[in-house]
A and B are shown apart, each in its own frame.
Chain A
Amino acid sequence: MNYKMMGRFIAQILAIEAAAMLPALLISLGYREGNAARGFLWSIVIIAAVAAVLWLLCRGAKKGFYAKEGLTCTGLSWLVMSLLGCLPFVISGEIPHYIDALFEMVSGFTTTGSSVVPAVEDLSKGVLYWRSFSNWIGGMGILVFLLAVVPVSEQKGGFTMHLLRAESPGPNVGKLVPRMKQTAIILYVIYILLTVVDFIFLLFGKMPVFDAMCTALSTAGTGGFGIKNDGFASFSPYIQNVTTVFMLIFGVNFSCYYLLLLRQVKSVFRDEELRTYIGMIIVAALLIVLNLRGYYETLGETIRHAMFQVGTVMSTTGFASTDFDKWPTFSKTVILCLMFVGACAGSTAGGFKIGRMLLVFKILGRNIRQILHPNRVLVVRNNDDVVDEKVLQNTNGYLAAYAIILVVSLLLVSLDGFSVETNVSAVISCFNNIGPGFDVVGPMCNFASYGWLSKIVLIFDMLAGRLEIFPILVLLSGSTWKNK
């Protein structure tokens, strides 16, 4: 493996992370929060120093960056980024235990939004901002950001496609335009524009500027770090509705927006995944509204809450406008099912991805037909194009890995002795990067009560979920590190 090249790469990632912390430092200074400011200052110094040392150690790297390096590098960058990114929490003393801080940070970068902080309103503004910003940068991916800013000459041969594939969610990742750098820039421009629009809409709802900024950042990354103890319950219906719409918008494949910019409206709405996404939202919301008859005072309120919860879970954001843990069992089960699905591939959302789920169902259908007609040659289609057998194989492999990790995590987490409902929902929620679960980890509660082992397991789940399992699994595989 080309360790030097990987070292340089991680050093660049850390430099970006240190730079990304600067606004948080300024906010802390602006609000005169001494502890938080000290935390950010020291963290920036430490991260920058690590980056500099790594950069110097890895001078004179040779060319050669292949699938193995790309995959390992993605996994390592996210790990290192989280390990160092949580330092402000610890140094400022706001989340004193390292494992707790790491949990919070990983939850931020992976856009999960599960928290170990009992009362977020007690946190300083700087830390609140850093949490929300970690949602934002983790949503589109920091490697994609790197691809957008690093000059093309630095991106030596073959470097780029493997990274995009490893970091971007979805079964079949492609570029929007021939140049990798251009693709990354387009993605980030769309991302920033949509975030700004969300921010402006929130300001119209008379939200304070700082709150609107944090909320917009969390929503854009489909992260779900809130700034209020009761989530979204105390916000006005207007703000809740705006957030519902934007959560759903960020759950759509970003290439759809690019096609819209190119005015290819027809091909956008022909997309099977997008149609399924919209269909599922409507059906799920309808089912919940029917089930919740009489639970809220007016039909309007019922629809608003149903839509908000469906949106938050489908897009894997994880805000809550009401305590859905108290909903009837059927509604809760609908929510639980949605947790598995996630949103579209190529969005900022986590989860299993609708595109992949569609493929799984199509493969299943094909297998059934194949049993009935053993000699018939059957292909799987997506948007009228034949899907490559390799993609189908990968999808099956992904499903298997997904199930195994889910079961093993559940076993380990259950050692802490909470109810099955708590554990199941906690693991699913973390693995799919959603945020809240049910019961002890419900929307109005938090993950603080779990022990350190469970927290480490959940940290692993969150990372595996965000990076689509394999970049994290290769880090654990012995053959990655053997130089044979």
Chain B
Amino acid sequence: MKIIIAGNGKVGASLARQLSAEGHSLTIIDADPKVLETSIEKYDVMTVNGNCASMHVLKEAGVEDAQLLIAVTDADEVNLLCCMTAHGLNKELHTLARIRNPEYIDQIYQMRDYFALSLAVNPDRQAAREIERLLRMPGFLKREPFAKGRVEIVELKVEKGSKLCGLQLSGLNNLIKCRVLVCSVLRNGKAIAPGGGFVLEEDDRIFVTASTNDLAVMLKNLGMITRKVNRAIICGGGRISYYLAQQLQNSDISLQIIEKDYDRCVQLAGMLPNVNVIYGDAANESLMESERIDDSDALITLTGIDEVNMVISIYGSSKEVPQVITKISELENNSILASLPLGSVISPKEVCCNTIVHYVRAMENQTGAALSVHTIADGQVEAAEFVVDKNTLHCGEPLKNIKIKKDALIACIIHGSKTEIPGGNSTFNVGDSIIVVAGGGKAINQINDIFE
């Protein structure tokens, strides 16, 4: 497919890597020739230097015969203008824009009509949603929802002395007294597809598929149940903090937002009446002490600088805050990040890319496309949800008779309102949804891709 990416920033480059590896023809537009030079050397793409909202530049990038335009420059307004101009040049074009400013949130549907957007992506709000989910069930490092939130793939770390340490996977269901499936284990930075005889070790990160209703039971039986989050500190008062605070407004969590820009503090205090907005530098230890970090149930670091977030999170972990969530926007070295006590790591960039890649795949196969796609295990494994249709092979056959590719597995089958963690005798039929997990860097575009 011919795709134009406007804006060669963090998300733009990440998309270039993913989409060019999936075989699309990419043209990247950016105003800075230096970043374009890097991209052209690293990825198999073409580049155009210039303002992506200008008709001339868009034409040069071949907008007239492109199928999709992804506008991910820094500025929402430029993204909108870019999509509008491009759509004027090519009525068939799908356009995707990143819109982050909270002030536009209420008018997003009108804007989609005015500016001819096929999809508006708001990674900050999505990241805030993800943080909210984590806060509602402390103990998990990550929660990836499927089937409208009825099934999840959650990430757990095997701590020293926990019941998981030294456990053989076949004994897991007995221990936690509900059916779950460990679909991937990340050990020493490498994702492994475990079998029943696999023994967990300290510092493994495991990815578990479970029905959302079973998650609380699982935590309880693992002895990991922690008290409910009553008090949370958010460091940094940016967009994600605002979205998060707004989503949590009606909950009984007491929120403190620490922000070092006074004007922004005033602004936030005006918009969020139930939140304590504190003017000060979150990296300052005595301020954190005075905000009773020891008594807090959660620490969420959302400042604009990754390194600052990391330092504050490490400090929080040393104070034994039960739940720490760290936002990392730019850094990519997952193996180093994993070795630091950062708690859950949230990356808005990854969230944004996941959404866009999912859209691209859906465009490519009009039928049989994934309902949602998530990458887990530091991006080494992909989990996707599909609807079984009449083209799907092996309908009604028990799973033990189906040959499935190495590194791939069916993690869950959803029959109507019932979710099932499959065993050898499980079957799927037309109309069911299934969740497929595959490692080895292969993209799953359709269900049939996983069968031998």
Residues of A within 8 A of B (CB): 67, 152, 155, 157-158, 160-162, 174-175, 177-180, 182, 388
Contacts and interface: CB of A to CB of B under 8 A. Distances in A.
Contact of B41 (A152, A155, A158, A177): A158
A152 B25 contact: no
A152 B23 contact: yes
Nearest to A181: B44
A167 B365 CA distance: 38
A161 B41 contact: yes
Contacts of A177: 25, 46
Contacts of A157: 42-43
Interface string B384-426: 0000000000000000000000000000000000000000000
Nearest to A159: B44
A302 B23 CA distance: 55
B26 interface: yes
19 contacts: A67-B41, A152-B23, A155-B44, A157-B42, A157-B43, A158-B41, A158-B42, A158-B43, A161-B40, A161-B41, A161-B44, A174-B46, A177-B25, A177-B46, A178-B2, A178-B44, A178-B46, A179-B44, A182-B25
Nearest to A162: B41
B70 to A, nearest CB: 14
B25 A179 contact: yes
A180 B25 contact: no
B44 A180 contact: yes
Nearest to A175: B46
Secondary structure at chain B's binding surface: helix, strand, loop or mixed? mixed
Nearest to B3: A178
B253 interface: no
Contacts of A182: 25
B45 interface: yes
B323 interface: no
Nearest to A70: B41
Interface in B325-379: none
From A152, A160, A179, name the one whose CB has the most chain B CB atoms within 10 angstroms.
Answer: A179
Contact of A178 (B25, B33, B41): B25
A152 to B, nearest CB: 7
Contacts of A179: 25, 44
Interface in B81-115: none
B27 interface: yes
Given A180-B44, A388-B33, 17 more contacts: A152-B44, A158-B41, A158-B42, A158-B43, A160-B44, A161-B40, A161-B41, A174-B46, A175-B46, A177-B46, A178-B2, A178-B27, A178-B44, A178-B45, A179-B25, A179-B44, A182-B25
Contact of B26 (A162, A174, A178, A388): A178
A160 B42 CA distance: 9
B34 to A, nearest CB: 10
Contacts of B2: 178
Contacts of B25: 177-179, 182
Interface in B11-56: 23, 25-27, 33, 40-46
A174 B41 CA distance: 11
A379 to B, nearest CB: 13
Contacts of A160: 44
A140 to B, nearest CB: 20
A174 B40 CA distance: 10
A388 B26 CA distance: 23
Contacts of A178: 2, 25-27, 44-46
A226 to B, nearest CB: 40
CB-based closest 7 A-B pairs: A178-B25, A178-B46, A180-B44, A179-B25, A178-B26, A158-B42, A175-B46
B360 to A, nearest CB: 15
Nearest to A66: B41
Nearest to B40: A161
Contacts of B33: 388
A203 B210 CA distance: 74
A380 to B, nearest CB: 15
Contacts of B23: 152
B309 to A, nearest CB: 29
B36 to A, nearest CB: 11
B278 to A, nearest CB: 46
Contacts of B40: 161
A214 to B, nearest CB: 36
Nearest to B26: A178
Contacts of B42: 157-158
Contacts of A152: 23, 44
A256 B33 CA distance: 24
A413 B40 CA distance: 42
A110 B2 CA distance: 36
A27 B27 CA distance: 45
A161 B41 CA distance: 6
Nearest to A390: B37
Quick one: which of B26, B44, B46 has the most chain A CB within 10 A?
A: B44
A339 B43 CA distance: 38
Contacts of B27: 178
Contacts of B46: 174-175, 177-178
A182 B33 CA distance: 24
A177 B45 CA distance: 8
A174 B47 CA distance: 9
A160 B46 CA distance: 12
Nearest to A152: B23
A57 B263 CA distance: 65
A160 B26 CA distance: 15
Nearest to B17: A157
A64 to B, nearest CB: 11
B447 to A, nearest CB: 22
B65 to A, nearest CB: 10
Nearest to A158: B42
Contacts of B43: 157-158
A249 B77 CA distance: 48
A157 to B, nearest CB: 7
A18 to B, nearest CB: 28
A180 B26 CA distance: 11
Nearest to A155: B44
Interface in B258-316: none
B449 to A, nearest CB: 15
A67 B37 CA distance: 13
A285 to B, nearest CB: 36
Contacts of B41: 67, 158, 161-162
Nearest to A176: B46
A394 to B, nearest CB: 13
Contacts of A155: 44
